[in-house]
Chain A
Amino acid sequence: MKRVQFADPLMPYMLLLPQLLIVGIFFIWPAAEAVRSSFYLEDPFGFGSTFVGFDNFTDALTSSDYASTARFTLVFTALTTFFSLSIALLLAVKADSVIRGASTYRTLLMWVYAIAPPVAGLIGVMLFDQHIGPLKEFAGLLGWDMQIGVNYFDTAFCMIVIAVWKQVPINFIFFLSGLQSVPKSIQEAAAIDCRSGARRFWTVTFPLLAPTGFFLLIINITYALFETFGIIDLVLKGEPGNNPITLVYKVFLDGFRGNDLGGSSAQSVILMLLVFVLTIVQFRLIERRVHYN
């Protein structure tokens, strides 16, 4: 990289300042505030707070409520990640092998990506609407009386389908460009070495997609854990009842509905640690292992 010399030693810091301010005000400060308040028991009406040490953490981690939410979050994240990655990969492989009208076809598949996330979430919820949702009616045709918001399994199913549906286009774009960067001559060499197309895919193409795949894995886990808040809220219409919720949604519920700011802060600190671990995994293990050139 080119080194730039500044006459004034303060200049580089001045240039960085706007970005640092944004990071500081919107990320570091709230995070620090969350850490601080996770050690306090806040008065629900704001009349003061008491230092309680790790009580908020032990309360959260020992409650059966938290454990069941964590279990659901795990299942939800695993299924959402698995299906959004595998469906996207399947579509990308198929789109990559299309020869006639390839660019039109690809553009059409990517279009979905251009829809704003809340709109996409809303459309997803509409598909499962109790009165007009076509997917609900379809399930009814198959003899499945879907009761979203009432039946635990049906609600979870609906959440996962919408979360997957919304994430597939993004994964698709990454996988498609990953596939297109696999050198043609390597695929040809494989065509000479191996008769079976499926076997060729799993032994040559798929390993070469691994860098893209691992990157998307992290992105998708983060998505399923944190960014599905809106979908869950839309599906539940703000009334969780006995329905499945994720940890992030629980942070919101306990903090803003239950007015337990300390407990909810402790939960968000736990999630912060989780993100921290994920980031380390990404940078340390995966980045080192899956890059070939």
Chain B
Amino acid sequence: MAGITLSNVRKTYAGGVAAVKGVSIDIEDGEFIVLVGPSGCGKSTLLRMVAGLEAITEGEISIGDRVVNKIEPADRDIAMVFQNYALYPHMTVYNNLAYGLKNRGIKKEEIDRRVREAARILEIADYLDRKPRALSGGQRQRVAMGRAIVREPKAFLFDEPLSNLDAKLRVQMRIEIKKLQKALGTTSLYVTHDQLEAMTLADRLVVLNGGQVEQIGTPIDVYENPASTFVASFIGSPAMNLMEIERDNAQWHLSRGDGLSLKSELEERSAILGLRPEDLHIVEDETQLEDPLVLSLIVSAVEPVGAESYVHATLGEQGQEVIVRAPGKQHFEVGSVLKVAAKREKLHFFSSETGKALTSTGKLQPA
């Protein structure tokens, strides 16, 4: 087992399209790292570069103490789980698992032991003699996992392994992958575009956007202290409410329209204010409040999801949409006025030029 280090890794395709623009990540031994971002952000390319399936244009990738830039995929001592599983259709499940071991000259008894052990862990022992076409999607997924496990590699690479499964199975497999990774303690790099999957699996998240790292941190850290408006809107569902605000002397107001009352020592002339839907609480009488922020909203729609409701409301004359997370039992009238407030520590400020996070006094947050 080993850590993985990426230093200033770049990928430029023939024709000058840059997919990855200088990414540096230090992955510790045994860590579960999730690369998350929208499609086209370079996360899969990055993973494939670690696997050796994609050439590295610039920078350096090391697995353990060894720089692997010029090393063949088979010699990197990694195992990869593909999105469409990529099982060998002409081999039985047993041979699918054993193939990588046979090619490495491992003894027959050892191969058999490892395959049966992996099959037991993944509960696919009954299917060892079947061909992949006779398996369901979930079973194929397990075989793909098994193929990675038997190798006992330095690192697991997962390329959106759950995206072909139905929602229920996805949740189940997500938990199993997490348990398995903890039990084996193998360094893992996992790519997904699903922020929920990313949050639940990761020891640390790497949020990518446009081929660059937006933020690296534990899921909670990324959630609570997003480094930019991109991260703020990408992580969390429903997304963080973002609104442009401006300052006249000491008085803050929305860039377009009113309905906002904010006390802040922020020194900028303008900023982007970010508010998580659950950090907004509904108030009856604002005069007694200590909270620095109060919004006057007009309810436009309510989405009850059971335990809670997402109240969609508008603010200001441009009809800026704000989502408020409210208890499920509360009733809201569409068209009625709703006053919500937020505590000081729940306010997020971002630079209106760069979108990067600011401290409450307007300093750029230390990365």
**A204 CB contacts on chain B under 8 angstroms:** 88
Q: Let me know if B74 and A185 touch, CB within 8 A.
A: no
**B290 CB contacts on chain A under 8 angstroms:** none
Q: Let me know if B103 and A189 touch, CB within 8 A.
A: no
Does A180 sit at the interface, judged by CB under 8 A? Answer: no
Does B51 sit at the interface, judged by CB under 8 A? Answer: yes
Q: A16-24, A89-97, A192-200: which lies at the B interface?
A: A192-200
Interface residue from B78, B88, B89, B131 paired with A192 (Cβ < 8 Å): B78
* Chain B, 22-73, CB within 8 A of any chain A CB: 51-53, 72-73
Q: Let me know if A188 and B82 touch, CB within 8 A.
A: yes
Q: Is the interface of A mostly helix, strand, loop or mixed?
A: helix
Question: Which residue among B51, B79, B82, B83 has the maximum number of chain A CB atoms within 10 Å of its CB?
Answer: B82
Q: Let me know if B133 and A199 touch, CB within 8 A.
A: no
The tally of CB-CB contacts under 8 A between chains A and B is 65
Question: Given the complex of chains A and B, what is the CA–CA distance between A207 and B95 in angstroms?
Answer: 14
**Which range contains the number of A residues in contact with the other chain?**
20 to 34
Interface residue from A195, A207, A293 paired with B74 (Cβ < 8 Å): A195
Interface residue from B51, B89, B103, B147 paired with A195 (Cβ < 8 Å): B103
Q: Let me know if A192 and B51 touch, CB within 8 A.
A: yes
Q: Let me know if A194 and B74 touch, CB within 8 A.
A: yes
**B342 CB contacts on chain A under 8 angstroms:** none
Cβ proximity bits A199-239 to B, threshold 8 Å, 1 near / 0 not: 10001100110100000000000000000000000000000
Q: A192-B74, A195-B75 are in contact. Are A185 and B100 (CB under 8 A)?
A: no
Q: Let me know if B103 and A199 touch, CB within 8 A.
A: yes
Q: Let me know if A193 and B103 touch, CB within 8 A.
A: yes
Cβ proximity bits A244-277 to B, threshold 8 Å, 1 near / 0 not: 0000000000000000000000000000000000
Question: Given the complex of chains A and B, what is the CA–CA distance between A193 and B75 in angstroms?
Answer: 9
Residue in B closest to A186 when the chains form the complex, CB atoms? B86
Question: Given the complex of chains A and B, what is the CA–CA distance between A194 and B89 in angstroms?
Answer: 16
Q: Let me know if B73 and A185 touch, CB within 8 A.
A: no
Does B213 sit at the interface, judged by CB under 8 A? Answer: no
Min Cβ gap B223→A in Å is: 33
Extra 10 A-B pairs, beta carbons < 8 Å, given A183-B84, A195-B74, A292-B89: A186-B86, A188-B51, A189-B88, A189-B147, A191-B72, A192-B52, A192-B79, A192-B100, A194-B103, A195-B75
